[in-house]
Amino acid sequence: MDCMNTTQAGIASATLVLNGVTSVYDCEGYRLPTEAEWEYAARAGSTGATPNGDLDGNTACESPHPTLDSIAWFCGNDKGLTTGVGQLQANAWGLYDTLGNVSEWCWDWEAAYTGESSDPEGPATGSQRIRRGGSWNNDAWLLRTARRNGATPDYRYHYIGGRVARSAR
């Protein structure tokens, strides 16, 4: 990127203050989506492994890939780098690149799921934040909508990005 150089390596750490609110949902403005919000938006009403259907055993870098080629950049069709958003089909709700291209940070700290719930919030603290969606250098099986991955908040690499959510009261 033109704005980056060897002395500007991005944000290494940041502190978030909720200004007296107890839930991310009470915040106004732009923020990272919770893990539940991310999955709901990525699924766009679908129930399969991807918004485009199941992977049907084709889980490596094989291409053509009948499920992923039209919706996701992954190791079977990638260009060896992050690709501009919107070059493949959007999901049913008009969102592009929810799978593949870049793995997306979520608000939640990593923790095991605890039973069934609707729109759960993650734990208040932790050591790793959740990333979802997989990236251009991943095998097909890593692009399942339900797949979760954690990393420390200061972890950065060229296949990680983000998507913003907006809260309004």
Between 79 and 19, where is the model more confident?
Answer: 79
Q: What confidence tens digit (pLDDT) does each residue in 135-151 have? A: 999 999 999 999 999 99
**In sequence order, what are the residues at sequence separation of 6 or more whose Cβ sits closer than 8 angstroms to the Cβ of residue 26?**
18, 167, 169
Average pLDDT, the chain: 86
| Overall CATH class of domain 36-169 | alpha beta
Q: Specify the pLDDT at position 8.
A: 45
Q: What confidence tens digit (pLDDT) does each residue in 3-34 have? A: 444 444 555 555 556 666 667 777 778 889 99
User: Are the C-beta atoms of 142 and 148 separated by less than 8 Å?
Assistant: no
Question: SS3 for 24?
Answer: helix
DSSP 33: P
Both ends of the chain: CA-CA distance in Å? 35
Q: Specify the pLDDT at position 10.
A: 52
- Can you give the pTM of this predicted structure? 0.84
Residue 151: φ, ψ to 5°: -160, 155
DSSP 114: -
Q: Could you tell me the CA-to-CA distances from 34 to 74, 123, 138 in Å, in that order?
A: 24, 11, 23
d(CA 134, CA 38): 13
Dihedral-angle region of residue 31 (phi above 0 means left; psi in -120 to 50 means alpha; beta otherwise): beta
Question: SS3 for 160?
Answer: strand
Q: List the beta bridge partners of residue 53.
A: 50
d(CA 131, CA 148): 6
Tell whether the model's pLDDT for residue 1 goes beyond 70. no
Which residue ranges make up each domain of the chain? 36-169
Strands 29-31, 165-167: pairing is antiparallel
